[in-house]
Amino acid sequence: MKNKIGLSFLLLLLTTACGDTLHHKHIKGNYYYVTENSRSEVCIGYRVNDYDESFVLFITEDVVEEASDDNFIIAKQKLNNSDDVVNYYIVSMQEEFTYSPEKFVVGPITLDEFELKRKELGVPENLKFKKLDVD
């Protein structure tokens, strides 16, 4: 019971992390880009149910570039839209439903670490970053 209450609180907290009113754009399966009204903070999340907009957000802000195929999402994050702090992520998308999609996320990591992990995980080289468009 204690775990269910904690999980419910965590989901509520994560659902509101990108702002009050959420908009989402489907990637694949339960994976979505999630934004607030201003669309200034783009997050990547996993939808945990079909009847409301509850998401587990595992990349919580400032995603500026991305790419995806049937197995992976790669993302580039610039905190506060600054070139000073750039993080990279690799998400291994899961077919089976999970309440813990963050277990399948590598990041935040540096560009050098990203290139190593990309090869290790078999992320295709033709999966290239492109500017994120959530409209």
Tell me what the mean pLDDT of segment 101-128 comes to: 95
Here the tokens at position 88 are: 């990279």
The b/e string for 52-91 (b: 16+ C-beta within 10 A; e otherwise) is eebbbbbbbbbbebbbbeebbbbbbbbeeeeeeebbbbbb
Give 15 or 88, the one with higher predicted confidence.
88
Sequence spans of domains, the chain: 2-131
Among the ranges given (15-24, 53-62, 106-115), the one the predictor scored with the smallest mean pLDDT: 15-24
Residues 6+ apart with CB under 8 A from 88: 74, 75, 76, 77, 107, 108, 109, 110, 111, 113, 114
Tell me what the mean pLDDT of segment 21-27 comes to: 80
